[in-house]
Amino acid sequence: MKKSTRNLLFLGLAFLALVIAAAVGGTVYIGYLAKKKFDEIKHKVIESVQTATVKTSRGPDAKPGDTASSPVSYPEWKPPLESSGPVAKGKISLQPGLTIVTAIAQPLVGDYESIKRIEAISDADVRIAFSSDLPNLNASDTATGEVKPKPSSTRKGCARTVTRQDMQSAHQYWQNFCVREEESYPGTTAISASAQVLADLKSKGETPFRYQSSALVTEAPDVACVLKRVEATDLAIPVLVNDLRVQLPAVHGRCQPDFYDVADFYFLDDPDNPLALAWQLGENKLQVIKITLPSEAPQIEQSLSETGRAEVYGIYFDFASDTIRPESEPVLKEIADALAKNAAWKLRVEGHTDNVGGQAYNTELSNRRAAAVKRALAERYHVSADRLTTAGFGASRPKEPNDTLEGRARNRRVELVRF
């Protein structure tokens, strides 16, 4: 081969190597820019939270331990055991009226909740209604100079449609809602993994997967990864199902994508409805804390009749507020119906909170919430006000420790006492 030919060949190979390097570098750089943009958005959210912490996260008499901070990671969930509480068989059937309440742990601010409800099901798709209220991060009590949590300033509401085909085979989990008023995103699921993703995790131990890189920022870019099963057996996730604390079996998958934080997902081990029971994306931690299945049985009336008490978790309030959310109407009606059928009954409505904020603040908030329930029953359901009394106990009567999402959720409740 002539020297000039060899030189041309070497030059050609060198040029080709440069083109390949530039392409790879460009891809990496695009990924870097996407990550940089997301980090800018995420840091703005975190900075706003941290700036507001002094104003919002603790009441004026807060003591050590009365903190809104959540643990860095979930508790060490273990395989389901009969000895540690009721074990549900994993069947949370997809049906109209199914309601799923998710708690979002915002570092140093507290928990706020989103509510998803199955509105309608057809052979082609499933329609999901969504609502959420966000903490008011920039409010302070200028009149008294005290710092205390403030009512939420933003409530989002929308509906989203997911096709039956995507629920069977999609590998993209898009967990954010209310990007548009009417939402439908072909190729994605909304509140669960697809049946195929669950099947892959169980049979192969891994599956291709895409998700949004933040559960709080709607502009967050999608992330692609290989979702890998962590434990060989199911884990038990505590959830209130129809107000009963049970354990639901979950498959734990983990993503370790380039540029982004490790993401953990816990999917209900049910191929007919593999709900996302918990997921953690960086600092953001979300967990399903309550599931309500439509039931013909009047549970509140039965509990009041048998024990004289009823714990009620289906009355929802805006963050740090006594404003009752619309999703509470079915439970309010159930209470009113029980009183209508039992004319001799009188009830004390008790309000209870978690320990986010100080004792005096929580007691005052729980009193207002109990009074709001009484007012709603009297005004909207014509229950005689003299059949109802109220009391607020704040965080003084916890059902569980306040250091987990599910513990705080179970402590935020209304109790009814018959007398």
Backbone angles phi, psi at 406, to 5 degrees: -70, -30
Give which of 241, 249, 246 is closest to 77, Cα–Cα: 249
Give which of 283, 290, 276 is closest to 243, Cα–Cα: 290
* pLDDT score recorded for residue 120: 96
Instruction: Give residue 308's region: left, alpha or beta (phi > 0; psi -120 to 50).
Output: left
Helix (H, G, I), strand (E, B) or coil at 351: strand
* Per-residue confidence band for 377, with pLDDT thresholds at 50, 70 and 90: very high
pLDDT, tens digit, 9 for 90 and up, residues 87-124: 555 579 999 999 999 998 866 566 889 999 999 999 99
Give, in degrees to the nearest 5, the angle at Cα 234 between 232 and 238: 150
* pLDDT score recorded for residue 153: 54
The most confident of 21-30, 46-55, 247-256, 297-306, by mean pLDDT: 247-256
- Spell out the domain ranges in the chain: 54-292, 299-418
Mean pLDDT of 381-400: 97
* pLDDT score recorded for residue 277: 97
pLDDT, tens digit, 9 for 90 and up, residues 149-172: 666 556 678 899 999 999 999 999
Cα–Cα distances in Å, from 264 out to 90, 115, 204, 231, 275?
Answer: 20, 21, 18, 12, 14
Mean pLDDT of 17-44: 50
The overall average pLDDT reported for the chain is 82
Mean pLDDT of 77-88: 66
* pLDDT score recorded for residue 221: 81
Sheet with strand 347-352: strands edge to edge: 309-312, 413-418, 347-352, 388-392
Mean pLDDT of 220-234: 92
Q: Is residue 50 predicted with pLDDT exceeding 50? A: no
Cα–Cα dist 354/69, whole Å: 12
Give which of 74, 48, 67, 213 is closest to 134, Cα–Cα: 48
Q: For the chain, what percent of residues have pLDDT higher than 90?
A: 56
pLDDT, tens digit, 9 for 90 and up, residues 171-209: 999 988 888 766 899 999 999 999 999 999 999 999 999
* pLDDT score recorded for residue 219: 66
Helix (H, G, I), strand (E, B) or coil at 334: helix
Mean pLDDT of 331-353: 97
Q: Which DSSP helix (H) or strand (E) runs through 288?
A: strand 284-292
pLDDT, tens digit, 9 for 90 and up, residues 123-137: 999 999 999 877 665
Q: Is residue 263 predicted with pLDDT exceeding 80? A: yes
Q: Which residue has the higher pLDDT, 3 or 363?
A: 363
Give the predicted TM-score (pTM) of the model: 0.80
* pLDDT score recorded for residue 198: 98
Q: Is residue 415 predicted with pLDDT exceeding 70? A: yes
Strand partners, 279: 265, 286
CATH topology of domain 299-418: 60s Ribosomal Protein L30; Chain: A; (3.30.1330)
Give which of 181, 131, 132, 183 is closest to 162, Cα–Cα: 183
